[in-house]
Amino acid sequence: MYVGGVLKQVDGLTYDRLSYFVRANYIKPKKIKRGSLYYNDFSEEDIKLIKLAWDLISKHDLRTRTAFKTAREKAKDPQLTLNLRIPPNNSD
Which ranges in 1-92 belong to alpha helices (H)?
3-9, 15-23, 44-60, 64-76
What's the mean pLDDT in 61-75? 93
pLDDT at 48: 94
Single-letter residue type at 35: G
Q: Where are the domains of the chain?
A: 3-77
Q: Which residue has the higher pLDDT, 87 or 59?
A: 59
**What is the pTM assigned to this prediction?**
0.79
Annotate 2-28 with DSSP letters as a single string: -HHHHHHHSTT--HHHHHHHHHTTS--
Query: Residue 79: is its pLDDT beyond 70?
Result: no
**Which residues are paired to 4 by β-bridges?**
none
Say if CB 2 and CB 40 are below 8 A apart. yes
pLDDT at 83: 54
**What integer best gives the mean pLDDT of the chain?**
88
Phi, psi of 82, rounded to the nearest 5 degrees: -120, 115
The model's pLDDT over 3-31, given as tens digits with 9 standing for 90+, comes to 999 999 999 999 999 999 999 999 999 99
CATH of domain 3-77: 1.10.1660.10
